[in-house]
Chains A and B, each alone.
Chain A
Amino acid sequence: MLLDGLRDAGYGLIGPMRRDGAIVFDEIDGVADLPRGWTDEQEGGRYRLRERSDGAFFGFAHGPESLKRHLHVPHQELWRAERRDGGLDIVQVAPEAPRRAFIGARACDIHAVAIQDRVLTGGAYADPHYAARRRDVFIVAVNCGEPGGTCFCASMDAGPRATGGFDIALTELMDGGRHDLLLEPGSEAGRALLATLPAREASEADRKAAAAVTDTANRKMGRRLDAARAREMLSRVPEHPRWEEVADRCLSCGNCTQVCPTCFCTTEVDSSDLAVSTASRARQWDSCFTLDFSMLHGGPVRHSTRARYRQWMTHKLATWHEQFGTAGCVGCGRCITWCPVGIDITEETAAMTAREETP
């Protein structure tokens, strides 16, 4: 009913669905596409789907994808130039602004959207493509009842309960053999849509049951991270021996940054045709783990994997604060799960704090 209401209001639906052995975040037609009765097992470098017996709609944590793929797209053409009558015609690519509803966004991912909002539209140079895709978005949050083995949103104050940034928040209640959805409005648009649904007012018991769902999730976090200590410590340990140890394992493949819902870096790619009569510039997702990323005149600034890993982790947990006012990490744990060799940011942080060496 909720999804029908959104579709009637002209929203395209993006939600979780099962594909290629994972739950991805893509276009769905309706409730039938949701991965009902599936859950995910997540560990460092390992992700598996497993059937669950209770028929839960949202009984999983998340897959490799977040809202980033849809708001800060992997590839975006920026402009084209055509040679005409001895001059150049430059055509700006108009930003697309599809009307879309995101179904089942987790608290961590909603926090990540708020972070990308600040990065991409908060400063003097707002990104028109991101802003357009972001404008007409309806977010249906799901309060997490089943955190993954690599989750640590509770440590980053980014979950498991959605506290803002949504239009409707939903908690799946399955206590005592029932199967209900508790819906809470988070915006005027959400309130208006809720009013059209044939729902009953939630009782005090329902509210308690919903709180219990996220309380339980809070206790089941697979990972923990001392965010305050990490922030304070990381600025002091550029020469910590642990950087070298993690660099021995790190593949500098970039997977962590690609699945990270807050990583926003892009590179620009120019092309021209054979007749050299048209050219275009596009931007695509980049990563601070590639050599080209820090290429300046004369070579890359961060040549070693050690320097690249240090840059990434220090930025996420420490220097992001100075730049944007929050951490750059929401504790979703995707960088741990989707690292091909299971490097774990929480483990690295703990190891460094435990063996902190003063210069």
Chain B
Amino acid sequence: MRKPRLAVWKFASCDGCQLSLLDLEDELLAVADALDIAYFVEASRATAPGPYDLSLVEGSITTPHDAERIRAVRRKSRHLVTIGACATAGGIQALRNFADVREFAAAVYARPEYIDSLATSTPIAAHVPVDYELHGCPINKRQLLEVVSAFLAGRRPAVSSESVCMECKRRGNVCVMVAGGAACLGPVTHAGCGALCPACDRGCYGCYGPKETPNAPSLSHWLRGLGMDGRDLRRVYRTFNAGAEAFRQESDRHDG
């Protein structure tokens, strides 16, 4: 039987999510056994042309060139899975969506006229149909393995969209917000990291974006009681998933 062909694509991103694939040190040989790694320039200069059975797409769309390129990627991919906060929500670079990107370019570059950039950073799904989205900044390599395994077995990935609190409690962490008064986005954030930060006595930063049915206004109300002001609240929702709808809306409700 022919092995399914895998491609890994990069758009506007830091490469951290595709590195998660290489971080699967103990399973990498099994991945290479199960899939024909046809296009993965982070790993090898040897590339093979499409079509591909599974495309993993990292990064957001920030240039006219990339807006075209993602269409080409879609055309030669049977299944397209986006990985990470950039590809699923626009990433940290979606902060430009709240500002004027031309001003940024003028402040940073000596010759801003060479910069051909879109006014916004948008997720892949805003441009082409996406078969599955894996959240996280960066993604959890165990979840990536699960998504790839599920693809190979032809089943639905066991990736829950419940809150980080569910993972936190199963893990036996003491709640950093209730017992420590820390600001924590866990109750509105998509599970997947395994409640990493609360396990290190830090509040959740919301790296995995909004969970299913998030109630950010109620959480914000409580966070105000813990001492956060409007500026704090605006900033706490405007990080890696600033462009995700629930976080964007909630950040807009508070004064900067």
Contact = CB atoms under 8 A, between A and B. Distances in A.
B178 A24 contact: no
Contact of B188 (A49, A75, A251): A251
Contacts of B187: 251, 253, 255, 340-341
A255 B174 CA distance: 11
A22 B212 contact: no
A88 interface: no
Interface string B212-232: 111100110110000000000
A333 to B, nearest CB: 13
A350 interface: no
A138 interface: no
Nearest to A46: B178
Nearest to A341: B222
B198 to A, nearest CB: 9
Contacts of B149: 271-274, 276
Nearest to A40: B179
Contacts of A338: 175, 178
3 closest Cβ pairs, A-B complex: A258-B169, A253-B187, A74-B170
B255 interface: no
A290 B172 contact: no
B213 A291 contact: yes
Contact of A253 (B172, B180, B186, B221): B186
A47 B180 CA distance: 8
A19 B176 CA distance: 12
A340 B181 CA distance: 10
Contacts of A290: 160, 162, 166, 212
Interface in A311-359: 337-338, 340-342
Given A250-B215, A258-B169, A272 B155 contact: yes
B166 A254 contact: yes
A77 to B, nearest CB: 13
Interface of B: 27, 30-31, 33-34, 145-146, 148-150, 152-153, 155, 158, 160-163, 165-166, 169-175, 177-181, 184, 186-188, 201, 212-215, 218-219, 221-222
Interface in A259-304: 259, 269-276, 279, 284-285, 287, 290-292
Contacts of A254: 162-163, 165-166, 169
B179 A249 contact: no
Nearest to A259: B169
A252 interface: yes
A269 B148 CA distance: 16
A340 B178 contact: yes
A22 B33 CA distance: 47
A64 interface: yes
A21 B215 contact: no
A248 B222 CA distance: 13
A258 B166 contact: yes
Given A252-B163, A291-B162, A338-B178, 12 more contacts: A46-B181, A74-B172, A251-B218, A259-B169, A269-B158, A270-B158, A272-B150, A275-B34, A276-B149, A291-B212, A338-B175, A340-B222
A290 B161 CA distance: 8
Contacts of B174: 19-22, 24, 63-64
Interface residues of A, number: 47
A45 B173 CA distance: 16
A119 B39 CA distance: 53
B104 to A, nearest CB: 35
Nearest to B162: A290
B212 A276 contact: no
B1 to A, nearest CB: 11
Interface of A: 19-22, 24, 45-49, 63-65, 69, 74-75, 248-255, 258-259, 269-276, 279, 284-285, 287, 290-292, 305, 337-338, 340-342
5 contacts: A24-B174, A63-B174, A270-B158, A274-B31, A276-B149
Contacts of B179: 20-22, 47-49
B117 to A, nearest CB: 37
B155 A270 contact: yes
Q: By CB atoms of chain A within 10 A, which of B145, B178, B219, B221 has the most?
A: B178
A253 B218 contact: no
A144 B153 CA distance: 53
Contacts of B180: 21
Most chain-B Cβ atoms within 10 A of its Cβ — which of A24, A337, A338? A338
A69 B177 CA distance: 21
A297 to B, nearest CB: 14
Nearest to A338: B178
A258 B186 CA distance: 14
A272 B147 CA distance: 10
A305 B166 contact: no
A264 B145 CA distance: 29
Contacts of B184: 340
Contacts of A251: 163, 187-188, 214-215, 218-219
Given A292-B160, A341-B218, A64 B175 contact: yes
B220 to A, nearest CB: 10
A289 to B, nearest CB: 8
Contacts of A253: 163, 165-166, 186-188
B195 to A, nearest CB: 12
A249 B218 contact: yes
